Amino acid sequence: MAVKVVPVKLTYRDYLTWPDDGRRYELYEGELYMVPSPPVTHQRISGNLEALLRQFVLENRLGEIFDAPLDVVLAEDTFVQPDILFVSHERRGIIGEQNISGAPDLVIEILSPATEERDRGIKLQLYCRHGVRECWLVDPEERTVEVLALSPEGYQVLGGYSGDETVSSQVLTGLRFAAREIFG
């Protein structure tokens, strides 16, 4: 006799009860995904971008910059770990001791062959649905930065930048830098 197995939908609370196995995970609408360790190029770009953003945010007293691994809990059954994120002073109430509970103002995903499909697919949909105002998709292979802004119709591309083209942001007003600076 066959027994139908009903997939279990997990919650963030379920995840917190598990022993730490040293791996990184994300939970998308109840489904758990393991996140691979990023390669050196990814980490280099992340460090360059985070340093640039942190300096701008601190100088202008705009809020806080965080980086992975840090759980961003978007719903009871959904948490992600964006590569870099920004939370404005106005929304600092979502910053907890253990995680961010709610949508950051800005998230940045640095693409890799192992994560690009998820980053451009389900994660972008989740960010849109939960109200992340701006998303950046950084492509190390193409050396580009794509900036997306939330609108009533979903995300709209504000620009795709490479080389000496100037990256700017609606969320971080006044931020300007040449795309090549982060690919150092």
Q: Provide the residue ranges of all domains of the chain, joining segments of one domain with +.
A: 12-183
Give the whole-angstrom CA distance, residue 139 versus residue 73: 25
- pLDDT category of residue 5 using cuts at 50, 70 and 90: very low
Q: Sign of torsion, CA 77 43 136 53? A: positive
What is the pLDDT, as a whole number, of residue 36?
A: 87
Q: How far does CA 118 lie from the centroid of its chain? A: 12
What is the pLDDT, as a whole number, of residue 114?
A: 84
Q: Could you tell me the maximum CA-CA distance found in the chain, to the nearest angstrom?
A: 67
Res 6 pLDDT > 80: no
Give the whole-angstrom CA distance, residue 14 versus residue 76: 10
Q: How far does CA 2 lie from the centroid of its chain? A: 42
Res 7 pLDDT > 80: no
Rounded to two decimals, what is the model's pTM? 0.93
CATH number of 12-183: 3.90.1570.10
54-63 contacts, C-beta under 8 A, 24 or more apart: 56/172, 56/174, 56/175, 57/86, 57/172, 60/174, 61/89, 62/86, 62/88, 62/89, 62/172, 63/87, 63/88, 63/89, 63/90, 63/91, 63/92, 63/105
- pLDDT category of residue 82 using cuts at 50, 70 and 90: very high
pLDDT per residue over 158-182, tens digit each?
999 999 999 999 999 999 999 999 9
Give the whole-angstrom CA distance, residue 137 versus residue 68: 15
Res 26 pLDDT > 50: yes
- pLDDT category of residue 4 using cuts at 50, 70 and 90: very low
